[in-house]
Amino acid sequence: MHYPLRFMARAFLAAAFVCALPAIAADPKQSAEDTYFDAYPTVPYPHEAQQKRISGIVIALIFIKDGQIADVTATGPDLLVSASIKWIKTRWKPKAGVTETIRAPIEFGIAHGVPLAAGKSGETDVFLARPVPPYPSGTNERGIVEVLIVVKDGKITQVKAQVGPESLANPAVKWIKEKWLPKPHANGSFLLPLLFKPPPPKPAASPAAPSSPGIVI
């Protein structure tokens, strides 16, 4: 999904997230990287991260100048971040003459609604309970919702969706407000990416076998 807004702030973990960048996914079948890249091979899942059962979303910022990748920064689990940055710098090839800042969410081995612990003082240090938002009914959208959560003195003072379709964002915000429980006296601000995938379709019921005709004796 593309969010064609200009880059205005490099910090992801701030009390306010100013805007969203053009967003692309690592899978070329589901994205519009063709606008900016001649080559963008899928970032492989690091073996060490698989062994340690580390999953999540890496949010990469790719700074392109005159058709060259000038810098790549990212947030997310350390093992996934380092692998993503190295791969993008060495394997992704921007189109000639492109100057742009691209925001690329890259998912690694996660199901819908799984949150990414953001930064060194992640939300795991602030919340006693943070149940995963369920996939909302009445929609079939797939996407990433980024939610800004502000906690002050053990209370959630703000929950606001910064990026994502309303059909996914509004239920996620409502769920976090109602279900997440901060620790007493906790404080913190987080930008939390949540990935939502439609549940797999239920297998079609097998047609009932025709009943045998009755036999009159």
pLDDT, tens digit, for every residue of 95-151?
A: 999 998 888 888 786 544 444 333 333 556 788 888 888 889 888 888 888 888 888
Whole-angstrom Cα distance, residue 43 to residue 85?
9
Mean pLDDT of 24-28: 38
Radius of gyration of the chain (CA): 21
Q: Which residue has the higher pLDDT, 176 or 217?
A: 176
The whole-number pLDDT of residue 198 equals 82
CATH architecture type of domain 114-196: 2-Layer Sandwich (3.30)
Class of domain 28-108: alpha beta
Q: Which residues contact 80 (CB under 8 A, 6 or more apart)?
A: 46, 49, 54, 56, 58, 106, 108
* Both tokens assigned to 146: 């980024």
Reply yes or no on whether the pLDDT at 62 is more than 80. Answer: yes
What is the tens place of the pLDDT at every residue in 31-53? Answer: 446 788 999 898 888 888 887 87
pTM over 0.95: no
Q: What are phi and psi of 192, to 5 degrees?
A: -105, 115
The ranges of the chain annotated as CATH 3.30.2420 are: 28-108, 114-196
